[in-house]
Amino acid sequence: MNQDKDLAFLATCKNEDLRTLCDILTYNKNGEVRMSEQLTNSDVYINCYPDKMNLMSRQIGEELRKFGSNTVKTFCRQGEADSYETIVRRVCKRMKVNVGSSNDTQTMERELLTTICEQSASKMSDEELRNIADKAGIPHKSLNKQMLTYVVMMAIRRNTYLMTEMLYYVTTSIAEMLLGRWITMMGMGTVGRYLGMAAGPIGWAALAGWTISDIASPAYRVMIPAVIMVASMRFRQTALLTQKI
């Protein structure tokens, strides 16, 4: 299988991030190996998991693409699975994220992540919204909850750090639900500027209006969390590079 250009960046991601992505693709919520996965019996997995994940980043990307592709079509293409761009577009459609036909992968990922964060904000209590507004320097005393929710949503689109922090809670909730463990994500050592570790009952388990059990297709129960993880990893990596510049 040819390497997907949109997944080449995985080789530069942190070990823990890659391990989480790999586990989402290979294990179910009961900690059992998925029947359809093809990674855990491979030599590269045996040699690299769990401490040298960057050395198997290409194989993780290939597993993601195979999981998100039609088996018959992949066979007819002599084992070449759908591109990651195609899979992201499919996930956006499933999640009712508005993307254009000409949008590239990173644009679609950004819209997916922004939609998730905005919908998560819509589930926050008035107190939680005002806490974020205070820390972000947003005047809010004269705003009702509906207006405040809208203002916070707009802030998410403009404030990279706020969006990064919200994504931390979304992705760690995914890992907790699917894998039963809390994770430490790259670049989140100072998390807490806006939300704090005791953020209250924000409802991250709902994950922007959908839960794992709500997704009927077994493939989507894997692909949606996996794409969110990849998109979040790319977003955080890009945000860190921008800050350094």
Residue of higher predicted confidence among 102 and 190: 102
All residues at 6 or more sequence positions from 102 whose CB lies less than 8 Å from its CB, including other chains: none
Using 50, 70 and 90 to split pLDDT, how confident is the model at 232? very high
More confident residue, 239 or 234: 234
Q: What's the chain's average pLDDT?
A: 82
Percent residues over pLDDT 90 in the chain = 47
pLDDT category, 22, cuts 50, 70, 90? very high
Of 1-15, 66-80, 98-112, 226-240, the range with the lowest mean pLDDT is: 66-80
Measured distance CA(94)–CA(37) in Å, rounded: 22
Let me know if 222 is exposed, middle or buried by CB neighbors in 10 A (0-12, 13-18, 19+).
Answer: buried
Q: How many CB atoms lie within 10 A of CB 141?
A: 7
Percentage of the chain with pLDDT > 70?
A: 78
Structure tokens at 24: 């989402």
